[in-house]
């Protein structure tokens, strides 16, 4: 039987432990409330996170993105990054409250860039900035159908709960990454729906394009849909204001000079998306998820 496999048993025990930990954190955040839990989580992670081995990945990424950066700046960014991650973690347990209070907590900039395409399918792209979970819930102020793209968690105990929270509090249309998800996205766009995609993480597939001066495997899903089916792509930036309050900015549609070479156009379009992400990250580096292994070293050996 499958569960007689020792590795499967170890993983199952680990996943169960993670689920129990998550349940206890849920109880704690409900007791503390949104404001106190975000302060507690941000304090804890900003003090513990920089000491963890994974912060070495953040240092490598920062040196790669900003070769002239000072050590003191790196330490400050990593400290603030962990502080933000702590707030995001606490806020996820309070998505219902944030969703109910979204019009008071979230300031929208560039509203004209979303209203312009209210009668057509549209793709929104962003990165892991501030708290990215708020993107679908604010999009629903403007669109009836909003699809949120998610990565299936390996922890089957946790995955169902996480997807359920997003279903109830951000958007009921949850689309799993993968080939079946691609078909769902296209179907939704054809129904004049909207897709919200986070495109700043490394993939094993996609296209290799420049990101902060180094090659990086990058999702080409948004670019492919834009080039093949002429759907507009609107970039979004999320910035944290005070506490659990945010500014979400809708920028003008990304456009390129198209050629007869669709594959090359997709790569060019993806590069433009990366340029937008670079600008957002450069302006507020502490808001980005630096601990992700974004660049593949085999592409960037000196």
Distance CA 298, CA 302 (A): 10
Distance CA 144, CA 57 (A): 40
Distance CA 58, CA 64 (A): 10
CB under 8 Å to 256, separation ≥6 — which residues?
265, 268, 269, 272
Distance CA 218, CA 213 (A): 14
Whether 84 contacts 128, CB under 8 Å? no
Distance CA 125, CA 198 (A): 6
Give which of 117, 165, 206, 38 is closest to 148, Cα–Cα.
Answer: 165
CB under 8 Å to 172, separation ≥6 — which residues?
none
Neighbours of 278 (CB within 10 A): 17
Whether 207 contacts 267, CB under 8 Å? yes
Burial grade of 220 (CB within 10 A; 0-12, 13-18, 19 or more): buried
Question: In the chain, what are the domain boundaries?
Answer: 2-299
> Which DSSP category does 49 fall into?
G
Report how far apart, in Å, the C-alpha atoms of 165 and of each of 2, 12, 179, 188, 193 are.
30, 22, 24, 21, 21
Q: How many CA atoms lie within 13 A of 190 on its CB side?
A: 7
CA triplet 96, 99, 104: central angle to 5 degrees?
130
> Can you count the helices (H) and strands (E) in the chain?
11, 9
SS3 260: coil
Whether 77 contacts 62, CB under 8 Å? yes
**Which parts of the chain sit beneath pLDDT 50?**
1-2, 301-302
SS3 299: helix
Whether 96 contacts 168, CB under 8 Å? yes
Distance CA 71, CA 66 (A): 11
Whole-number pLDDT of residue 301: 47
Residue 237 β-bridge partners: 249
CA triplet 295, 299, 300: central angle to 5 degrees?
80
Long-range contacts (CB closer than 8 Å, 24 or more residues apart) made by 1-9: none
């Amino acid at each position: 039987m499958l569960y007689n496999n020792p590795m499967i048993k170890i993983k199952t025990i680990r996943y169960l432990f993670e689920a129990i930990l998550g349940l206890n954190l849920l109880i704690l955040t409900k007791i503390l409330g949104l404001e106190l839990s975000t302060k507690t989580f941000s304090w804890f992670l900003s003090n513990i996170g920089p000491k963890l081995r994974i912060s070495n990945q953040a240092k490598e990424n920062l040196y790669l993105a900003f070769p002239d950066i000072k050590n003191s700046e790196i330490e400050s960014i990593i400290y603030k990054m962990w502080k933000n991650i702590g707030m995001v973690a606490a806020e996820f347990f309070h998505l219902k409250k944030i969703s109910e209070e979204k019009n008071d907590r979230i300031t929208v900039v560039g509203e004209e860039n979303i209203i312009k395409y209210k009668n057509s399918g549209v793709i929104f792209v962003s990165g892991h900035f501030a708290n990215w979970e708020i993107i679908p819930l604010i999009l629903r102020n403007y669109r009836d159908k909003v699809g949120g793209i998610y990565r299936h968690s390996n922890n089957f105990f946790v995955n169902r709960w996480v997807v359920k929270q997003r279903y109830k509090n951000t958007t009921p249309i949850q689309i799993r990454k993968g080939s079946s998800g691609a078909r769902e996205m296209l179907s939704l766009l054809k129904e004049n729906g909207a897709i919200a995609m986070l495109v700043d993480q490394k993939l094993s597939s996609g296209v290799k394009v420049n990101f902060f001066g180094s090659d990086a495997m990058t999702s080409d899903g948004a670019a492919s849909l834009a080039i093949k089916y002429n759907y507009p792509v609107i970039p979004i930036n999320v910035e944290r204001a005070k506490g659990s309050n945010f500014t979400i900015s809708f920028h003008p549609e990304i456009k390129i000079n198209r050629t007869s070479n669709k594959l090359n156009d997709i790569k060019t379009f993806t590069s433009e998306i990366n340029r937008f992400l670079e600008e957002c990250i450069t302006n507020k580096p502490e808001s980005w998820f630096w601990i992700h292994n974004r660049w593949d070293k085999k592409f960037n050996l000196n």
